[in-house]
Amino acid sequence: MDSSAAADLTLDRIEEAARFLVGRVERTPMLSSTTAARVVRATAGVELGGGRLYAKAEHLQRTGSYKVRGATFRIARLRAAEQAAGVIAISAGNHAAAVAVAAGLLGVHAVVVMPETAVRSKVEACRGYGAEVILGGEDTSEAWAAMERIRADRGLTFIHPFDHPDTITGQGTIGLEIVEDLPEVDVVVAGVGGGGMACGVAAAIKGLRPGARVYGVEPRNSNALSLGIAAGTPVPIRPVSIADGLNAPFASDTTIALGRRLLDGIVLLDDMEILAGLRFAAERMKQVLEPAGAAALAAVLHGHIPIRDGERVCVVFSGGNVDLPRFGELIAAAGPLPGA
């Protein structure tokens, strides 16, 4: 995707997407925690505005993650002939479910290619949402090759998880809802994989509150966007993080251009810091998140985000799709936070 496509991401377009998505996706609630604010006081030495930390609960979205917003708007804007032919996606998790649900909502046939190692419950969920699921290969690279063959043979449209202006625009509707619920928001923090969600949210936030700041959060060993911004071009990586939802193998020209323009910074976290955020969300906020969904919270709780006294801060809980046995293992491995 050429970086000129970044010009398509405007506040007007995000508001158009929000109107379209009414009744098709959930308008997720805004949560808050006074205990989290106390932890921030202990780790960063600042008092949060309102005496609490706010959280946009996208883990309560349809399919358990924010991704259904972008997938729905992207598929809706396909040409009639493309919709009639059908769409295809590759994913072992949240994106697969999002495309399956979005296509079903819009009456479009969806093919989802998943690695043979994909979790069975996720495979069955996609089938339950109405998608045709094809298991292709033992890993992502083999599944990707299978996807390309099927796409070409059937004339399907590929729905990329982040590299398209319509997808990013759909994710940006999260930012509109944050400002509606927290009009005086000063700082928004979001996890970063390929960067589509963080950039879409930043476009909406800055369109409505030009003085607000938006920060991205990447795992230290899965930092495709920050590397891409530094290099000015996509940098292929082999991401390794407990937050598998943030393990993008590259950031695109589009998200690199948007990230450079819209994000006020990107911070890097160790996996153990992410797990501490996951544990805090479960124990103190009673919210079940996947590691990727807890990254933004963890960054704030550990004092890594620049915050001034009195600022109102909102983190994005981006997803909650984690198998319960695995969740127990993650919680057991996590350490406590200072002041928690």
Candidates 142, 190, 186, 149; CA nearest to 295 is: 190
Which alpha helices (DSSP H) does the chain contain, by range? 11-21, 34-44, 67-76, 80-85, 94-106, 120-128, 140-154, 165-181, 196-208, 224-231, 253-262, 271-284, 291-301, 324-333
Give the residue-averaged pLDDT of 226-248: 93
pTM: 0.94
- Among this protein's residues, is 67 annotated catalytic? yes
Task: Look at residue 7 in the predicted model and tell me its pLDDT.
Answer: 66
- List every span in the chain annotated with CATH 3.40.50.1100: 3-65+164-333, 87-155
CATH number of the 3-65+164-333 domain: 3.40.50.1100
- Among this protein's residues, is 286 annotated catalytic? no
Who wins on pLDDT, 139 or 3? 139
Name the residue type at position 207.
G
Task: Give the CATH class of 87-155.
Answer: alpha beta
Hey, what are 242's tokens?
Answer: 């407990």
Q: Please identify which of the residues 65, 222, 241, 318 carries the catalytic annotation.
A: 318
Q: Please identify which of the residues 33, 56, 67, 91 carries the catalytic annotation.
A: 67
Give the residue-averaged pLDDT of 264-277: 97
Quote the CA–CA distance of 67 and 62 in Å, as a whole number.
9
What digits encode the pLDDT tens for the residues 149-205?
A: 999 999 999 999 999 999 999 999 999 999 999 999 999 999 999 999 999 999 999
Q: Please, what is the average pLDDT of the chain?
A: 94
